[in-house]
A and B are shown apart, each in its own frame.
Chain A
Amino acid sequence: MNSFMIKKLIFKDWYFNRYIMLAYLVGGLVALAVMFSGGTTAFTIGSILLVTAIVSLGCHLVLGTVVQERTNQTLPFVMSLPVSVQDYTAAKLFANFTVFLVPWLLLSVFLLSIMSSSQIASGGAVPIFTLMLFWMVITYLIMLGTALVSESEGWTIVAMAVCNTAFTLVFMGLNAIDGIGGALLNQPDVVWTGASLSVLAAEIALIVLILGLTFYFQSRKTDFL
């Protein structure tokens, strides 16, 4: 693994995406402001805006760097440099993951700390919100992996559609579990139960698995162009 070139490619992708990262961070902060401006309606609208911001960031990144690199035919340019398929994949995954994670992390931290604070006292909803935030990371990685491996705009968009539909279903599913959702949501205190912790562990495992699978399938390609 060629760490010199991998770093170069990561910095390049960060440089290309600098405005996107900023724009969505700002959008997310606006959504947070709406969420806590007062009343349940504002909260609901704000949360929808927040989810939209984070999910759109993911879609924008995937279509913007990965798929575009193929349609704009800049892939041969990158592959003519002293890099292997593994180097390219590692750099793409890392760069795109971090570009997503930075706004996501900031927004998540803001959201969860506001929720846990005494003024808002929605601590009970923190576990389920955390799990949904992690689900958004999983969604993003599924889209990213699909884009890299399938090299197809069509399949990537299918993945996006499926993941986004699944979002509501996953929330409903988690809400139905006693230790995670339901009555727990109205409590002011943050309580992590065995159920919520095991789901979190499963999500983290899933993240690692998706990264590994993406890497594996990329390495097996014999026709990189």
Chain B
Amino acid sequence: MNFILSQTDRRPMYVQIMDHIRQKIEVGDWPAGQQLPSIRELAISLKISVITVKRAYLELEREGVIEVQHGKGSFVADRGGEVPHAAPVSPITALESHLDEAAVSAGRLGLTEDTFLFEAKRAWMRKQEETET
């Protein structure tokens, strides 16, 4: 797995790892049932501490994205109920559509660009606080 921690990304390392794993799954590189590299293997190849990778795996397990089978390893969960993507969608493109909607709403409400950006930041903060609890 080729993945470099962004030095400018302020998110915790384990979150970045989780996102990258989620992306791999979303774009179809890792299908349901695929075995993930062991925590130690991944830590060594990414040059990231074992404890951080362990946390990422734990959080992903909690979210149901992966399954940890003791003694066997970690596997991509089979989310049978979810509609699989017809074609791989880049995360940026997905976000763009949401932002376009928000920008249009802001314009209709008569808000300025500064306010729009400020509120976007506050929304992000709220989301952060939610994932932390």
**In the complex they form, do A and B come into direct contact, defined as C-beta atoms under 8 angstroms apart?**
no
